[in-house]
Structure 1
Amino acid sequence: MGGTAVLVMEMQQGVIGEHTKFPELVGACDKHDVIPNTAAVLNAARAAGIPVIHCTAAFRADRIGSHTGNCPFIAGLLRDPGHMLDGTPAVDVLAGLREPGDLENRRYHGFSPFTGTSLDTTLRSLGVTAVVATGVSLNLGIPGLALEAVNLGYRVTVVEDAVAGVPDDYAAAVLRHTLSLLATRVSTAELVAAWT
């Protein structure tokens, strides 16, 4: 198990919690038990001494550090000047998923937790060569995480019942036709069993 870390992608209040703007994504997470499955993965990782890193997104009120006009999705989100502001409850990790020993990797731009952050340096300082991906979404964040991790030389595992996207058929297609080319796919039960 040495050399592995769990990356938790955007499991935040403003993404799939009480401050969300994405009710369909919340519904997908509920339907597939993504939050309890992620919690089970994180508990097993911590018990096995595997680092947990929460990959979070936020914006500064002045938008410094964020490209706001190069992507239609981001431009649409930022029409709300209060969306995912640093220091607000919206950027908090969901209750029950974060423990004091966990790390956080915050980004202000893009869809990959590696872009413009110190994540790669942090992982290498921990001796990590393989990452396990959980969280949201299969539309953008998880494929971005997997592709960048592979580009940087990491082995990637995606916990297929601890990730979600919308609509369901598209999310399933991303798992089958994109992520299966980049990553190993496992279930929560398989991973927990392997780590215990």
Structure 2
Amino acid sequence: MTYQYYLYGEQQTLPETPAYQAYFEPARTAVVCVDMHEGHLSDSPDCPCPAPRGVPLVEPIDAFHDAARDLGVRIIHVRTGLRPSGADDVNGIPSAWRLGFSAFVGGIPNIDQHAIEGSEWTRFRTRVEPQDETVTSKKRLSAFYPSDLDFLLRQLDVRTIALTGMMTDCCILSTAFEASNLNYRVITVNNLVAGTNDELEDAALKIMSLNTGLVMDSGELLRAWQATGPTGAGAAASSVAAAAAADQGQVPSLAGN
């Protein structure tokens, strides 16, 4: 069976070779959903790092996660979590994005409150089911640093990760590179990640398609998992059909960029 993927922005037919087919093994795959929390997605004027481009992704990501669970794929929700003292960032050596990104968007008044543990900004907006796992110690752009994500994946015997969430041109890109460096197979779900704007998102997806693994639509990835996973799962088939509708969605860029 053939599937479609994106190589440098162009949709192509995935080669039917063992190296590519090895990416589609549901039992050894986890979806890693990055930073879909109130600190990015709240509509409050106090939101410490607003990323409105991610808001339309919440429902499609939830639908995709439902279909993935039905097919035996694990779901791991990752978010940034910083100590209230500020030692991890603003009162230690601050993250570089606090300067450059803030300047680019014209300043973020409540930026010092971003991702503080115990605050309202760390609540996940995507649905977390009891069987899901969470990683809440991400402190920089990569979901692996300095969290225990790699330890968790190895404990679960996961070899392939599929990335959803925020933001394509920084956290998703950094996570994809680090995962690849750690020898995981990486699939970036291109219609379920959002970045700073169209230009940077497009560039990041092209870079990942050349250097970190596969870039695929959610519906196409679900079809691949369904074909290679357990057969005869009616619930899985219906969930795949529902989640595949996310392929048609369009996500707006950040206002003013």
The TM-score with structure 2 as length reference comes to 0.67
Instruction: Give the whole-Å Cα distance in 2 for the aligned partners of 1:113 and 1:63.
Output: 19
Counterpart contact for 1:51–1:102, Cα < 8 Å: yes
Moved more, 57-66 or 144-153: 57-66
Amino acid corresponding to residue 155 of structure 2 in structure 1:
S
Unaligned runs of 5+ in 2: 1-25, 103-107, 227-257
Any idea what SS the aligned residue of 2:141 has?
Answer: coil
Amino acid corresponding to residue 56 of structure 1 in structure 2:
R
Matches of residues 21-60 of structure 1 in structure 2 within 5 Å?
21-23=48-50, 25-26=51-52, 28-30=53-55, 33-60=56-83
Moved more, 66-75 or 130-139: 66-75
Change (3 A) 1:38 1:110: same
Instruction: Give the whole-Å Cα distance in 1 for the aligned partners of 2:42 and 2:213.
Output: 27
Cα shift readout 1:134-163 (whole Å, capped 9, x = no counterpart): 001012100111000001010000000000
- Choose the corresponding residue for 1:74, options 98, 103, 119: 98
Larger radius of gyration: 2
Instruction: Give the whole-Å Cα distance in 1 for the aligned partners of 2:200 and 2:147.
Output: 29
1:151 paired residue number: 181
Counterpart contact for 2:48–2:112, Cα < 8 Å: no
1:8 paired residue number: 33
How far apart are 1:36 and its partner, in Å?
2.6
1:165 paired residue number: 195
Instruction: Give the whole-Å Cα distance in 2 for the aligned partners of 1:112 and 1:83.
Output: 16
What's the RMSD between the two structures over aligned residues?
2.2
How far apart are 1:108 and its partner, in Å?
4.8
Change (3 A) 1:10 1:97: same
- Choose the corresponding residue for 1:135, options 152, 165, 174: 165
Amino acid corresponding to residue 167 of structure 1 in structure 2:
N
How far apart are 1:82 and its partner, in Å?
3.0
Counterpart contact for 1:61–1:81, Cα < 8 Å: no
Instruction: Give the whole-Å Cα distance in 2 for the aligned partners of 1:123 and 1:191.
Output: 20
Moved more, 80-89 or 48-57: 80-89
How far apart are 1:22 and its partner, in Å?
4.4
- How many equivalent pairs are there? 190
Change (3 A) 1:170 1:190: same
2:114 paired residue number: 83
Instruction: Give the whole-Å Cα distance in 2 for the aligned partners of 1:82 and 1:65.
Output: 12
Instruction: Give the whole-Å Cα distance in 1 for the aligned partners of 2:95 and 2:195.
Output: 19
How far apart are 1:49 and its partner, in Å?
2.0
Unaligned runs of 5+ in 1: none
Instruction: Give the whole-Å Cα distance in 2 for the aligned partners of 1:140 and 1:4.
Output: 23
